[in-house]
Amino acid sequence: MAEGSESSWFGRFLIWRVKYVKESNFILVLSLLVGIVSGLAAILLKNMVHSTHVFFTERLQVDSGSLLFFVYPFIGICLTSLFVRYFVREDISHGVTKVLYAISRRNSMIKPHNSYSSLVASTITIGFGGSVGTEATIVLTGASIGSNLARFFRMNYKVMTLMIGCGAAAAIAGIFKAPIAGIVFTLEVLMLDLTMASLIPLMISAISSYVIVYFMMGDGIVLDFAVHDRFALANVPYYIILGICCGFLSVYFIRMNIRVEQFVAKIKNPFKKVLTGGALLGLLIYVFPPLYGEGYSALQDLLTDNADNILKNTYFFDWKSSTFMILLYVVGLVFVKVIATALTNGSGGVGGVFAPSLFTGGVGGYLVATLLNLSGVATVPVNYFVLAGMAGVMSGVMNSPLTAMFLIAEITGGYTLLVPLMITSVMAHLTGRGMESHSIYARRLAMKGDLITHNKDKAVLTLMKLDKVIETDLKTVSADASLGDLVKIVSRSCRNIFPVVDENEELLGIVLLDDIRKIMFNQDLYETTYVRDYMTTPPTVVNMEDPMDGVMRKFEDTGAWNLPVIGEGKYVGFVSKAKIFNTYRRVLQHFSDE
């Protein structure tokens, strides 16, 4: 009884809302709610990860290595795998990629458990030392909060997509205390189009999340470093060099990440996968303890001229005064961080590549600056190059130079560094884009044809579903049927194409009305000629698995206006260019309306 009355009350509320509250105003209220809840989720995740991390590492000796750096990550991978396998029962890794997939292929619907399951799994993974970041986790969480709140209030797909963006913006704003970066991240990585109708809700969500986090956690930020001095104009050429280096490094990051994950994915046995991936990860962190967790403490040491601290908890601690040993160790960190990240995600951990890309860029920036200073070619500020390197690799890995630039500026207060950050980010983006056209988030979706992009034509085609435009009203005919039988079928059909199929419904060819028009009234041929005599082969066929942009390429390559569709080897129907264009116009209008 109570459940029925509650449902009736909610129904009356929805009716009241539609009658008295404009949808545009309700979207603003919903964006505020999404921002507050996502900000609270960011606070919860940051505290859980930090507390777990401190609990396991605060009593470790700093002047020697420890086998616990091998054991902890391995245990974390095992526990996370068990949680995902037996509790969640769904892959929840690669959070940003899942958000993009939800927009592309799931009508912006994200399962409710993603609002909390990723928080738990990521806490276990990172708290025990998994070499990944919390940002992808909180983006998936915020997007899930936005999607499910919009769904709860019965909003349409367009509003659900906007709320996913609001949740993502709020998540980044909360986890980094960087509202501008949160908004720009959403526009660069997730959103289809930019209008004022979408920008205002994004701003409300990001600001409300930032205020909640600031109110409850104070002004502490990820990196405790403030920029005060202006950059030297004479160092601009060296920032360009750094940007190019970061571009190459970002390509290495993307490709190595994909290859290592593919290597682990080939291990089909789940137990062996966890055992192999966890053991390799533990070995890397045992040799390189700065890889433990997100790695921000190592970046903090590089920013504050305490580079020798990266040798803490290692067997190389006694060589901390050796510049050569530090540089050698830094080179190792640059190239193995992505391997540790891929092993963490590939073997069952849950986390993102946001923090690892910042780590790789920061360490790479330190390496470039130190080499320049030692060579005598120039004297450059190491800490500024660390920051610029963070922005550079992040820009190349994510194809998001604006996000990288504003994020580093916001978390350090380094707006006086905007020009070198811009130079490094743009150079890294241009360098990396020439070799890798997609970001690391979009690479997997692009290979499957599920990628939604900022190109409006491609984005709309991606949103269209092939099964929604297939025409099944064409009359089929057997190859052994006579011309007389075909004429009878023609008389009952309003189409001019007749698919020819066998007894197993496999497509053999097609008969065009134009090809039989001149002889179809010659009754002398009705019993002496057969369909197979007039059958032709279609220029190509469309498979049910083909993405819509691939279907359009087939139309362009063949010049055809109608193509047969095959599913699992059997004839399904026809798809016409005219129907695709009509559907395209409806979808495009839906997303262009304010």
**Alpha carbon distance 338, 217 (integer Å):** 31
Q: What is the pTM of this model?
A: 0.77
Distance of CA 267 to the CA centre of its chain: 24
Alpha helices in 317-353 (DSSP H): 323-346
CB 555 within 8 A of CB 564: no
Kindly give the confidence (pLDDT) of every residue in the chain, 594 residues in length, as a single tens digit, with 9 standing for 90 and above: 444 444 577 677 777 777 777 888 888 999 999 999 999 999 999 899 888 888 887 776 655 567 888 899 999 999 999 999 889 988 888 778 788 888 777 778 899 999 999 999 999 999 998 999 888 889 999 999 999 999 888 888 788 888 999 999 999 999 988 899 999 998 887 765 556 677 899 999 999 999 999 888 876 666 766 666 777 888 999 999 999 999 999 999 999 999 999 899 899 888 999 999 999 999 999 999 899 988 888 888 888 888 888 888 777 777 888 888 889 999 999 999 999 999 999 998 898 888 999 999 999 999 999 999 998 888 899 989 999 999 999 999 988 899 999 998 888 766 778 889 999 999 999 999 888 877 787 766 666 655 554 444 555 555 567 777 888 888 889 988 888 888 888 888 888 889 999 888 888 889 888 888 888 888 888 888 888 888 888 888 988 888 777 787 888 888 888 889 998 888 989 988 777 777 666 665 555 554
* E strand spans, 212-339: none
**Alpha carbon distance 169, 393 (integer Å):** 21
DSSP label at residue 352 = B
**Alpha carbon distance 12, 593 (integer Å):** 28
How far CA 265 is from CA of 254, 258, 354, in Å, comes to: 16, 10, 21
* The pLDDT value given to residue 318: 77
Instruction: Tell whether the torsion through CA atoms of 502, 507, 512 and 513 is positive or negative.
Output: positive
CB 262 within 8 A of CB 188: no
Going by C-alpha positions, the residue among 352, 187, 169, 332 that lies closest to residue 257 is: 352
**Alpha carbon distance 60, 55 (integer Å):** 10
Residue 140: is it exposed, middle or buried by C-beta count within 10 angstroms (0-12/13-18/19+)?
buried
Q: What does residue 10 show for φ and ψ, rounded to 5 degrees? A: -65, -40
CB 520 within 8 A of CB 487: yes
* The pLDDT value given to residue 204: 95
**Alpha carbon distance 336, 356 (integer Å):** 11
Count of helices and strands (H, E) across the chain: 24, 7
* The pLDDT value given to residue 43: 92
* The pLDDT value given to residue 237: 93
431: its two tokens: 């360098």
Instruction: Tell whether the torsion through CA atoms of 300, 303, 304 and 310 is positive or negative.
Output: positive
* The pLDDT value given to residue 594: 45
* The pLDDT value given to residue 452: 54
* The pLDDT value given to residue 469: 82
Q: Can you spell out the DSSP letters for 518-578?
A: TTTT-GGGTTT-BHHHH-B--S--EETT--HHHHHHHHHHH--SEEEEEETTEEEEEEEHH
* The pLDDT value given to residue 1: 42
* The pLDDT value given to residue 394: 94
* The pLDDT value given to residue 211: 94
* The pLDDT value given to residue 120: 93
Residue 499: is it exposed, middle or buried by C-beta count within 10 angstroms (0-12/13-18/19+)?
buried
**Alpha carbon distance 566, 586 (integer Å):** 26
CB 384 within 8 A of CB 203: no
Q: C-alpha angle 415/137/41, rounded to 5°?
A: 80
Map tokens 């060099």 to a residue. 241
DSSP label at residue 88 = I
Rounded (10°) angle between helices 382-398 and 296-303: 140
* The pLDDT value given to residue 201: 92
* The pLDDT value given to residue 438: 75
**Alpha carbon distance 525, 521 (integer Å):** 9
The count of other CB atoms within 10 Å of the CB of residue 262 is 11
The count of other CB atoms within 10 Å of the CB of residue 371 is 11
